[in-house]
Each structure stands twice: as C-alpha cells, then as structure tokens.
Amino acid sequence: MIMPLLLIILGLIFLYVTYERQRVLHLISVGEKIARSATPFSRQLPKASLRIGIVGDSTGVGAGASATEYSLAALIGAKYPQAEVVNVAAISARTWQVIEQIKQLPGHFDLIFINVGGNDNVHFTTYSQLDSDIKHVLQLAVSKASHVLLTTPGNVGTVPLLPWALRWIFTIRSRFIRRIFITAVDATNGDVQFVDLYRDASYDPFALDPKKYYAADLFHPSDAGYADWFSYISKQLDSFRW
C-alpha cells in the first residue's frame, strides 16, 4: 500500500507543479504586455511652485493601471496641480537601481517619492544588500529634496501570480523588508517619512479581493489597487509643509 500511495502523491505533486508553471508563465507574459504599455506620468511646468521627483519600480511607472491618470504618480500630480513632476521610475527596478535614478534627477526637489522593494522580494535580494541599498537611496534622496517619502511594496505574499505553495515565503520576506525600511527611515532622524503599505492577509484588500485590486497579470496593482495605496500616501502628504 505504501508504494502506490507514494506514487499517487508524487503524481499529484507533478501535476500541481506543471499547472503552476504554466499558469505563472502565462501571467508573466500578460504582465510583460502590461509593462510595455505603461506610460509614466510626468509634467513639465517651467514656473512650477513645487517640484516632485518619482523614483522606483513599475509601481512608479504605473504598470497595471488602465490609464496613466490612475497611476500613483498621476494621483500625486493631481493632488498638486501646481507641481512639476519628474518621473524616472523604471519597470523591474530593484533598490540598487534607484540609486542611479536619484542621481539622474536634475536639481533640487520639494518631494522625492520612492516606492521600491517588490522586485527585491521576488528576486531574493539578500537582506544585507537591501539594507545597504535602501540606506544609500535615502541618503541621496535627502541630499536632493526637502521632503522624502518612502513606501513599502505591501504584502507580496498576497500576489496571486506567485505559486500558492510558496507565498508564505514572500510574506515572511515582506515582513523582513518592511523592518529593514523602517529601520533605515528611523536612522534619518525625521528627514524621511514612511508610509506602511504592508497588511496581514486577513484584512488586506489585495488578498480579500484580488480580482479588484490586482491587474490582469495578478501581479501589478489595478486602478483600485493604486487608489487604495494612495489613500494612505495622501494622508502623509497632507502633513508636509511646502
């Protein structure tokens, strides 16, 4: 009896792995199309009273939004219509690449907005490397802006694209990355503000209603997902004095 049962279990595991592989590859293909079609929101205003810099990964570009105006950068821009917005965020960027993005930003800014870490999570950037990278990012950002706002990438363990059997790993990594970010922010002694987008799956809307809050690739946020994040970000922006 043991051998037939073992064969059944191994067969079920093989079928699950095969199914997950095909599903993930399909969703990655969908995500690549979404990323290619995303247009980062920027706005040139020669006599602008505010200058805002956007750096980070595809969430800064707005991948997953049905139109540019529903992206995070555009929502920030709509909150400050008098602001020039310089957006150098890039698809698939990891934290070490944001260092170069900030160096590209021309001149001084009233605000630099940073959302990064999700790709570091899924590509298994080591915690020690991420700690060094985010500290470097914040140091550069503080030198180029009056206000710096950093956000977490949320609970990556809720991402439906990822294989179900492995999501717990990405939840644990999300918690560690969140702690690394918070510690780095605390070390700036108030020069950087932090918006915590991590939520436990038991009350995270991304986990409770993924079809609403994730885009078609089940990886990037949808319009509703970006709006949810912005509801938290906007509250922190309200505390700034320009």
How does residue 212 score in pLDDT terms, banded at 50, 70 and 90?
very high
pLDDT band at 14 (very low <50, low <70, confident <90, very high): low
pTM for this entry: 0.91
Amino acid (1-letter code) at residue 122: V
The residues near 180 (Cβ < 8 Å, ≥ 6 apart) are: 127, 130, 131, 134
Q: What pLDDT is stored for residue 13 in this prediction? A: 72
Residues comprising the chain, all counted:
242
Residue with tokens 């922010």: 185
Average pLDDT over residues 114-121: 96
pLDDT of 44 reads 95
Instruction: Write out the DSSP string of the chain.
Output: -HHHHHHHHHHHHHHHHHHHHHHHHHHHHHHHHHHHH-----B--TT-SEEEEEEESHHHHTTT-SSGGGSHHHHHHHH-TTEEEEE---TT--HHHHHHHHHHS-S-EEEEEEE--HHHHHTT--HHHHHHHHHHHHHHHHHHEEEEEEE----GGG-TTS-GGGHHHHHHHHHHHHHHHHHHHHTTTTSEEEE-----TTT-HHHH-HHHHB-TTSSSB-HHHHHHHHHHHHHHHTT---
pLDDT at 1: 60
* Six-digit token string for 198: 């991590």
pLDDT value of residue 43: 96
**CATH architecture for the domain at 2-237:** 3-Layer(aba) Sandwich (3.40)
pLDDT digits (tens, 9 = 90+) for 139-173: 999 999 999 999 987 899 999 999 999 999 999 99
The strand pairing partners of 43, in sequence order, are 85
For 70: left if phi > 0, alpha if psi spans -120 to 50, otherwise beta; the answer is: alpha
Q: For the chain, what is the mean pLDDT?
A: 93
